[in-house]
Structure 1
Amino acid sequence: MNYKNAKVILPEYLVKELQKYFQGGYLYIPIHKENQKAWGELSGYKEELKQRNTCIIQEFHNGCSINSLAKKYHLSTHAIKKIVY
């Protein structure tokens, strides 16, 4: 998280208005709902997991056992079952 000095990025009238409510600390301003990204979209991790899970499902349908998939992908057998079933 990057902290910015309000005096540098906000107009003076807005800084004075904020100071009526809060001074001398860190204030988190959340992203507007319309601009919010879903989990993993920004980093690309969601797509990586989708590709990995597709491979796991294909290998399972080609006869690979749950135990061998768990070892290969470093996941628990429970996690593999959740993916393939």
Structure 2
Amino acid sequence: MSYKNGKDVLPPNLLKQLQEYIQGEIIYIPKKGQKRAGWGENNGTRVIIEQRNREIFHKYENGKTVLELIQAYHLSEDSIRKIIVKTRELTVSQV
């Protein structure tokens, strides 16, 4: 993203209108028609977390205790339980 001076790129009447709202500050103007990527979509983090969560659920379903999962994944009990519940709901809704 590069900085551009409004008086160099905007028509004078539009510049005057914008100055009614903002003056001397930087403003971001999004690209036309572009959907912003969700969290973790560009760098693959979302996929990695989803795989980890399925792995946690699979291990829980195969007999691992919540305490064992806490120790293995270094997550809180609350996080492990949320992952189990959410993944179970997703699994049931896909059937």
Does TM, normalized by the shorter one, top 0.5? yes
- Pick from 2, 15, 19 the counterpart of residue 15 of structure 2: 19
C-alpha spacing 1:17/1:35, structure 2 compared with 1 (3 Å):
farther
TM-score normalised per structure 2: 0.66
TM-score normalised per structure 1: 0.72
Report how far residue 25 of structure 1 moved. 1.5
Superposition RMSD in Å: 2.6
Question: Identity over the aligned pairs, expressed in percent?
Answer: 32
2:55 is the alignment partner of 1:50: no
- Residues 21-47 of structure 1 show CA distances to partners (whole Å, capped at 9, x for unaligned) of 234210122355642222221221111
5+ residue gaps, structure 2: 86-95
5+ residue gaps, structure 1: none
- Residues 10-63 of structure 1 show CA distances to partners (whole Å, capped at 9, x for unaligned) of 964x25345312342101223556422222212211111101101101111121
C-alpha spacing 1:17/1:39, structure 2 compared with 1 (3 Å):
farther
Map 1:1-80; keep pairs closer than 5 Å: 2-6=1-5, 12=9, 14=10, 16-20=12-16, 21-22=18-19, 23-32=23-32, 34-80=34-80
C-alpha spacing 1:57/1:18, structure 2 compared with 1 (3 Å):
same
C-alpha spacing 1:17/1:59, structure 2 compared with 1 (3 Å):
farther
